[in-house]
Structure 1
Amino acid sequence: MNINLIDLLKKKVSAIVLEGETEYLSEKSQALTSFFPILLSILKSQPKLIESLQNQLNPRLTDIFITNPALKQQFLEQISGTVPTGAIESTLNRSIAPTLGVLEIEAGSAEPSAIVHLIETHWSVVSNALPPWALALLSALGVGTAVEHTLHQAPEITSYKEAEEKKKSGFLLPLIAFVILAVLLAFIFRACSGQKETEPASTFPTQTASSEPAKLQLSTGAAGYLTTCQLYSGNASYINILQQEIKQIFNHTMGCGVERNANYHTEFIDQDAIPSVLKLVKGVPNVSLTWMGNQLSIQTANSTDAQQLAAKIQPLVKNMTVLTQAATSTATPVDSLAVISTGNSNAEKALAEINPDNIRALDIATALNMQIINFDTASTHIPEANKSILDQAAALMKRAPQVKLTVKGHTDAVGHAATNKTLSQKRAQAVVDYLVKQGVDPAQLQAVGYGQEQPIADNSTVNGQFKNRRIEFEVLNTETGVVREVNEEGIKKQ
């Protein structure tokens, strides 16, 4: 084959893993370069490991060193150099899944046998890329003999060549054996001398370069479907993986709103359990779940649902504390579909009753405020149900150029305040853009996003969050500069 498999992994996987990185960038890149041939050597020798890693949402070094856990720390110390081992481990952890992805594409199949065949085809490139100290490591993992044999097996070209290679092998093999033995002894000595000082490997992810824990927040509606979802993480690869899981589990096209920032940790505690937990949450009505640090908080409309859900989840997240809380509101959970349908019908009726020969700005704004524009999570796409209402309003506004409206966007308090404010501005602007597209003069409209700054209900409840996610219309009297507020009392006279 024409491709260089190691160069391909450096080009594709390193680019993904190191995207956005600023700290120890050169050292992390070099660690990945050394890690790729080591990982391929292990996969070639252990086909069952390939399937095991493929079945995990976020495979880690721990899974590769499962037969010899004590060797992992020695390996990290060797490959990290002067960089904190936690930073390098996190980088290598994030590289395993995309490496498997590249191998599957190049092999044309996800079958372990196909991937092994691919590695064997490129074995000369892989073996030549191995760091000098890697032979001892691989030998300690039980794959060193196969590697050594392959490295020194001469191609059958001519008898003269065979003789020359035998001479070289006779000279080199004892020397290589001596080097391997020396390195192994060094590993053993370091392991023994540092046994008392080295703490056992923690089941918690190492978080050295970030200040805030990764966070996942989501909630379900009255029918148990996903209504809101927000994800905060410093790991772009894992964000993509988790997004796909959420879309599939909840049959939700948009997935989560995302804030990817280096301030957030790249891993969740017990993150391999996230898909299993979400499958338990699916179908349970009015659940609010927050996964942050070593705490998983569950809030439901009643304490019984929360306790039952927690009892199922706790065995899956052994390193976390599951907290339960019943929603503080005793009101019946909002049936969002019914509320939206009723509000939109009232808005259409109110707009139809406006006299086209006596159009008042406050009449239009009040009618528009009867509707509910229920955007999908993290989306600025106007629902089809609202377009006919906006079409009615646009037809009236085109006949009344004196009508000037401010479109105000609001969100609930789920997620980061700055992100919510940006999203609310974009949603308000989407409404303005739609009306302008229908022929309304842009001078008649302005968009303002307030994010979560102006709640009208308690954000700790599902009902309150639903009410706070809204688009409002208000009138600006251009002569006095006074904003005229619009409420739900019906159409007012100016």
Structure 2
Amino acid sequence: MDIINHLARTVTPAVLGDNRTPQNESLLEQFYAIFAARLADNDTYSRFSGQEIARDDAGFYDRVWTDQSHRSSISRELANTHKVDESSVQGLVAAAAPLAYHEISSLAGSTPVPQFLRDNLSTYRSHIPSWATTVVPAGVLVTDQTTAAPAGERISDTVSTAPLQREEEKGGSFMKALLPIIGLIILGALAWALLKGCQEKPEPVATPVVTEEVVDNDTPVAAVAADAEPASLRIATGEDNMLYACRINAGDQALSDQVMGAMQNVFGDEAAKCRADVDDSFATDMPAAELLSAILPIVKSSPNASMIIKGDEIIVNSPDAASLDQLVSDIQAAAPGMKVTAEGPLDLQNEIDNSLVAADAAIDRLGENPDPRDVARALSLQVINFELDKAFIPDANKPFLDRAAKIIQQVPDMELMIIGHTDSQASDAYNMELSRERAEAVKEYLVSKGVDASKLQTKGMGESDPIADNSTEQGRFRNRRIEFTVYDESMAADDNGIAVTAGNGGDVGMGTTVKDGVNSAVATAGSAVNSAGNAAQNAGNAIVNADPDLNPLDGNNDDLLPDSDDPTQGTALDPKANQ
């Protein structure tokens, strides 16, 4: 858990508002580290641990540092370091303190805050400047430094290894001279004990993490990556118990095929709605895979139900409380070895925060020369919680998108498709346009941060490609999303299953997944022509040309779909288009 990164995303936007400058952001990050080190002291924390701290409690900062000289020192040094007016610094840290306290308390959970901060000192210690050692409890840093760092090695460039300057006691030089000799004696004793232990019991004291195992025939067997994401299955049913949405994440094709086979056995042809993401970043086993034949019929028999299987957990939801209780009970009976729970109420802020933490962690794991698919998957983890009916990037997402922009610029020959999705709360046409605007907003922001516009394409999907049910608050929240995928312009739809629709004239299939490029789109349109006449033929041509306007260069608006691709021709449908 990178505490400073988390606070920079959650607290900084609230404190700075429109006054966000690099200087203000940097000084707050430094303050967060000093503040965290102060809270790591039990005596300091105990002064207000039982109190209800309001988020706008301007006096809370004074109660954390009761010494006026310490507060003055913090303001003065931060102002000098970051070239900011000292009175401005005083206002910023006073506003930031209660907000940072609430965020840290939330991160700590059931762990006492001082203990949590001491355990995670390594995540913020490097941000603590040397001058701050006079305003931070010495024991907090000294304890961690003496146990975590090798002798004689600096902790960081900004943290003093001697927080308080003291005169050496008499005899100190003599003791320093003895330290190397004492160290050698201790090391000798440890080596003798280890050698004796190996002779008496040759088994290792601890088994290291196995990365590769060599069997008798010298064939290497790769171990499963310790940080692989659990394989998962997410499904939802509709009002008529039909399959509404389905997503599979699997580490290899064998597991994907096993899950897909179970889906086909229960849902038949509707299993074609399943989208599978097969990648070695996911585990190659699913504890519930062998139980799907018993689990899936239970979900199918429950209208407007949803289920998420991930690792050894199964989380279910339903808009009806009685049905939800029955669903939990029945699935638990069918899968006694799994942990089955009902999904709790939507905690919007927690979902947003966790998504950004997960997305940051995924970016951290990319390494050098990352696979563009891994970049797209990492970017898709973030929740961009647009305001109702708006397409403005929330401040909470901007630091991550700033980081994403740098990654995109560093990966050569990578083009991304940004896809907007909505829930089903409004009309199809409205949702299609809103999803397109939101995808465009993300593109515009990334371009403003230096990304080449030609590397980014956008697509609005509206409500046509759900990943969850729309009957619950949680499901609608998941369906309102921005997804990134690697873009291949030679295809009418990308490999992740962008839905292609033919509009009002001839329905090629709302939400039809096209995986074989333009040829598949033409074949589908051709089939529609036989049953729907000339209007479907026009729709098929629109798919091939990737442009629903019959002639975007003329002066009329004869579209079968709104001109989302060609706004110069207007956005209203031509009433004569269907005649």
Asked if TM exceeds 0.5, the reply is no
TM-score (norm 2): 0.26
Task: Flag the structure with more relative contact order, 1 or 2, with Cα contacts below 8 A and sequence separation at least 6.
Answer: 1
